[in-house]
Amino acid sequence: MTTDVASKSLLELISLTGRTAVVTGGTSGIGLATAHRFAEAGATVVLAGRNEQRGQKALAELPSEAGQTHSFMPFDIADPAAIAATVAAIVARHGAIHIWANIAGIYPLQDTLSVAPEQWHQVIATNLSGTFFAAREAARQMKAQGTGGVIINTHSTGAHNTPPGGMAAYVASKGGVKALTKTLAHEFGPAGIRVLAVSPTMTATEGIERQAVDLKQLTGLDDAPAMFASRLPLRRVATPDDVARVFFFAASDLSLIMTGSELAADAGELVM
């Protein structure tokens, strides 16, 4: 499936008008910032998340123009049946899915020798299995529409570099997403479905702030994020919007020739 966009202006290439974009984990952090950028570009955005109250608050703050009917959908990425039900509800309400951003995830920090089996399985079920089942359901819908689309997964620089202790389950899950992205890109490409991934470095989200105590226990540093930032070539960690702009590039027609690629929003971490 070939789409010729050479005659389009840059403003047309960055427009998401007329497209429905689903953002899992869209009620906070990177997901919320990405949802804002998608909405700003004209997409109708579906915020998919577990917290109804937070979802409704985030929904009320999304930029909205004529023709945009954003929505919130309850969503548990660790439950394959719930994913399928959510996709059906989205299609019933919005008619189609053109962009699917898999941003929901968890990153608990715990010493490897102390990780219980259920904790390991929860991370894998959420970050890896959830990404697989969500991408599969999104692709099924996009293929049925015959319109193609783009699925954007979330990797991590931790899947490349050796992180400090306490992240074995997280790194394993993200390494799996890295391989999964390439596999799905190969399989879904003939249907005009692109599969990309964004790989953020440490990002200043509420989750990282809540983990400050755990980071201190694991690293022995009073301000581990600041120490980490001082080693990066750009000398800072990412903001949610830094990463959101990369997700937006992946979703737009600017990246139309790209699939199976990983876009590093890393402040230079991967060249260290």
Active site residues: 170
- The alpha carbon of residue 230 and the mean position of all alpha carbons in its chain are separated, in whole angstroms, by 26
In three-state form (DSSP H/G/I as H, E/B as E, the rest C), the secondary structure along 131-156 is HHHHHHHHHHHHHHHCCCEEEEEECC
What's the half-sphere exposure (Cβ side, CA atoms, 13 Å) at 153? Answer: 37
In this structure, how many other beta carbons lie within 10 angstroms of the beta carbon of residue 88?
Answer: 12
